[in-house]
A and B are shown apart, each in its own frame.
Chain A
Amino acid sequence: MGEPKLRLQGVSQVYEGARGETRALQNMDIDVAPGEAVAILGPSGCGKSTSLLIAAGLRVPTQGAAFVDGVRVAGPRLNTALILQDFGLLPWKTVAENAGLGLQIRKTPKRERAERVARALEQVGLADFADAFPAELSGGMRQRLAMARALTCDADLLLMDEPLSALDALLREEMQDMLKRCWCEQGYAQVLVTHSIEEAVYLGQRIVVMSPRPGRVVHVLENAEMQQENWRDADLFFERCRALREMLRDIVAKEEVAHA
C-alpha cells in the first residue's frame, strides 16, 4: 500500500473526569488507503467515536497522532467530512442551506454554492425538498441530507459515526445501499464506526474489530467481497457475520475474565 489516506498511529486517549482518569483508546493503529472503505466495529464505549473525532481533527489524542495524506492532523480539514449519529443538521436551516453550510463557511460564491448543492441534493434524491426544514424530513431523508452535505464539500475522506443507528431495519438497508453507491461513485476513502455487525460486513472492505474499553485493535478482517452484487444475500455475507459475532463474544468474554 502506498501513502495511506488516513493513518492513526499509536493513538491513545485518556479522559480526565470527576471520577478520575478514563482510558478510552490504547495504542490504536489503523491505515486507510485512498478510496478504501473501512468499518470499525466494537462494543459500546470502546472508543470508536473518539478515534473518529481524532481523525477529523476535533480531538487531540493524549498519545500518538492522526495523519491524512501523510500530514499530521492538527484541526478540521476541508476535504474531510464527518457524519455524526444525529447528523448534526441545523433545524433552523432549510435542506439546501444545511447541504451548503460547509460551502457557505468556506465563502464559496453563491452561484457555485447553489449549483453544487442542487447537484448533491439530486444525487441523494432530495431535490424536491430543497426548501423544507429538517423537521419535515423522515429519518432516512435526514441521513441523505447529511450525505449531501458531505458531497457538496468534495470530500476525499468520509468519517461516519453510527449514522444509521436511529433508523428502522428496512430503512437502514436502504441507507446502507445509498452509502455504498455514493462511495462507489465518488471514490472517497470512508471510515464507518458502527456496532452493527451486518452493517460493518456490508460496507467495509476491511473490518477493524476493537476490544472493550480501553479500545485497541484486536483483529482486522479482510472483506473485499463486499463489492459483489447482492452481497447482502450471499452465503459468505452470513458466514462472515456469524464469524464476527463469535469473535466479538470471545473478545468480550476474555475481557470480562481479565477484569474479574
Chain B
Amino acid sequence: MRKHPVLGRIADYVFAIVFILAGWQLTAMAVHNPVLPGPFDAFPMVAQYFDELWPAFLVSLYRVVVAMLIGTVLAIPLGLACGRSPRADAVFAPILYFLYPLPKVVLLPVLIVLLGLADAPKIVLIAITVFFQVLVTVRDASKSVPEQSILSMRSLGASRLDIYRHAIVPATLPELFTALRISSGTAVAILFFAEGIAGSTGLGYFIVNAWALLAYPKMFAGIIAMALLGVILYELFDVAERRLTRWRRV
C-alpha cells in the first residue's frame, strides 16, 4: 500500500518523537540525577515557564532568521560567481581556503567589543558562519552544471542572466537547501553559545541562567524550546526544498 504523503510524514514524526522520548526517559532513569530530568518532569516546565520562555524564544528566532538570511543572501551571488568564473574563483578561492576552516565562534569576543552586547554580535557571528557554509556549497554546485545544458541554452539565444535564471540557479538549489539545513543546526549551536556568554536575552541566556541557579527542570524547558527552534528551521528549509525542487522526486 502506498503511504499518504502528509499522514505518512506525521506518522514518521510521531515515531521519531516516541523513540526520542523513550530514549530520554530510559537515560534519565539510568543516570538518576536531577541534572537530567525525564521528559515527564521536563515538559510541564515548558508550560510553567512559558511567560519567560516565549519572549526568549522570539528573540532567538529573530536573531537566527535574520542572521541566516544575511549570510545566505551574501553567499549565493559570490558562490555563483566563483563557481562560474575561473577568474573570480582564482581571486576568492585562496581566501576561502584560509577562512573556511577557521572556527568563526572564536570571533565572538572581538564582535562583542566592536558591536556591544545586543543583537548585532550574535547576528553577525551566525551570518559569518552560514555565509561560508553556503558559499562553498553554492560554488561547488554551480561548477557541476553540465556544459551541454549551458551550450544548449546559449544556442537558444540565452543571455548570461537567462543562463543563471534557468540553468545555474535551479541546478544549485538542492545543494543550497542541504547547506541551509546543516547550517541551521550550526546556527542554533552558535546562538546558544553567543547568548549564553553575552547579553541577558534569548534562549541561550535562559538555559545558562537556569543552569547557574541549578534549576534543572527550568533549564530543560529552555533546551526543549531551543530544540523546537532547530526543528522549525530545519522543517522550514525542508518544506521550501520540497516545493522548489519538485523535479527531484519524480
| Pick from A53, A87, A88, A92: contact of B247, CB under 8 Å | A92
Determine if A92 and B156 form an interchain contact, defined as CB atoms under 8 angstroms apart. Answer: no
Determine if B156 and A90 form an interchain contact, defined as CB atoms under 8 angstroms apart. Answer: no
Would you give the 0/1 interface string for B163-190, flagging 1 where the beta carbon is closer than 8 Å to chain A? 0001100110100000000000000000
Interface residue stretch chosen among B111-119, B146-154, B195-203: B146-154
Q: In this assembly, does A259 line the interface, its C-beta being within 8 Å of a C-beta of chain B?
A: no
A residues 55-97 touching B (CB-CB < 8 Å): 56-58, 76-78, 80-82, 84-93
Determine if A84 and B166 form an interchain contact, defined as CB atoms under 8 angstroms apart. Answer: no
Determine if A101 and B153 form an interchain contact, defined as CB atoms under 8 angstroms apart. Answer: yes
Knowing A86-B146, A88-B149 touch, does A101 contact B156 (C-beta < 8 A)? yes
Determine if A84 and B152 form an interchain contact, defined as CB atoms under 8 angstroms apart. Answer: yes
A interface size (C-beta, 8 A): 32
How near does chain A come to B248, taking the closest CB pair, in angstroms?
A: 8
Chain B residues with Cβ below 8 Å from A247 are none
How near does chain A come to B41, taking the closest CB pair, in angstroms?
A: 49
Determine if A135 and B156 form an interchain contact, defined as CB atoms under 8 angstroms apart. Answer: no
Knowing A92-B245, A105-B162 touch, does A84 contact B151 (C-beta < 8 A)? yes
The residue in chain B whose Cβ has the minimal distance to the Cβ of A103 is B156
Q: In this assembly, does B6 line the interface, its C-beta being within 8 Å of a C-beta of chain A?
A: no
Determine if A82 and B151 form an interchain contact, defined as CB atoms under 8 angstroms apart. Answer: yes
Whole-angstrom distance between the alpha carbons of A215 and B79 in the complex? 39
Chain A residues with Cβ below 8 Å from B159 are 105
Q: In this assembly, does A153 line the interface, its C-beta being within 8 Å of a C-beta of chain B?
A: yes
The residue in chain A whose Cβ has the minimal distance to the Cβ of B159 is A105
Determine if A90 and B154 form an interchain contact, defined as CB atoms under 8 angstroms apart. Answer: no
Q: In this assembly, does B101 line the interface, its C-beta being within 8 Å of a C-beta of chain A?
A: no
Determine if A133 and B157 form an interchain contact, defined as CB atoms under 8 angstroms apart. Answer: no
Majority DSSP secondary structure for residues of B touching A: helix
| Pick from A84, A102, A135: contact of B148, CB under 8 Å | A84
Knowing A91-B247, A101-B153 touch, does A86 contact B166 (C-beta < 8 A)? no
Q: In this assembly, does B33 line the interface, its C-beta being within 8 Å of a C-beta of chain A?
A: no
The residue in chain B whose Cβ has the minimal distance to the Cβ of A80 is B155
Q: In this assembly, does B158 line the interface, its C-beta being within 8 Å of a C-beta of chain A?
A: yes
The residue in chain A whose Cβ has the minimal distance to the Cβ of B162 is A105
Give the A-B contact count at a CB cut-off of 8 A: 68
Chain A residues with Cβ below 8 Å from B90 are none
Knowing A84-B151, A106-B157 touch, does A133 contact B250 (C-beta < 8 A)? yes
Chain B residues with Cβ below 8 Å from A86 are 146, 148
Whole-angstrom distance between the alpha carbons of A213 and B157 in the complex? 30
The residue in chain A whose Cβ has the minimal distance to the Cβ of B150 is A88
Whole-angstrom distance between the alpha carbons of A101 and B158 in the complex? 9
Knowing A84-B148, A133-B247 touch, does A56 contact B155 (C-beta < 8 A)? yes
The residue in chain B whose Cβ has the minimal distance to the Cβ of A94 is B247
Chain A residues with Cβ below 8 Å from B146 are 86
Chain B residues with Cβ below 8 Å from A91 are 247
Q: In this assembly, does A136 line the interface, its C-beta being within 8 Å of a C-beta of chain B?
A: yes
Whole-angstrom distance between the alpha carbons of A84 and B153 in the complex? 11
Chain A residues with Cβ below 8 Å from B151 are 53, 58, 82, 84, 88
B residues 134-154 touching A (CB-CB < 8 Å): 146, 148-149, 151-154
Whole-angstrom distance between the alpha carbons of A106 and B159 in the complex? 10
Determine if B250 and A135 form an interchain contact, defined as CB atoms under 8 angstroms apart. Answer: yes
Chain B residues with Cβ below 8 Å from A81 are 155
Chain A residues with Cβ below 8 Å from B171 are 92
Chain B residues with Cβ below 8 Å from A104 are 166
Determine if A93 and B157 form an interchain contact, defined as CB atoms under 8 angstroms apart. Answer: no
Would you give the 0/1 interface string for A232-244, flagging 1 where the beta carbon is closer than 8 Å to chain B? 0000000000000
Determine if A93 and B166 form an interchain contact, defined as CB atoms under 8 angstroms apart. Answer: yes
Knowing A88-B148, A88-B149, A133-B247 touch, does A82 contact B155 (C-beta < 8 A)? yes
Whole-angstrom distance between the alpha carbons of A81 and B214 in the complex? 73
Q: A77-B157, A84-B152, A135-B247 are in contact. List 11 more A-B contacts (CB 8 A).
A: A53-B151, A57-B155, A76-B155, A80-B155, A86-B146, A88-B149, A88-B153, A89-B149, A90-B167, A132-B250, A149-B156
> A interface vs B, CB < 8 Å?
53, 56-58, 76-78, 80-82, 84-93, 101-102, 104-106, 132-136, 149, 153
Interface CB pairs A-B, < 8 A, 25: A53-B151, A58-B154, A76-B154, A78-B157, A82-B151, A84-B152, A86-B146, A86-B148, A87-B152, A88-B149, A88-B152, A88-B155, A90-B149, A90-B166, A92-B245, A93-B166, A101-B156, A104-B166, A105-B158, A105-B159, A105-B162, A133-B246, A134-B247, A136-B250, A149-B156
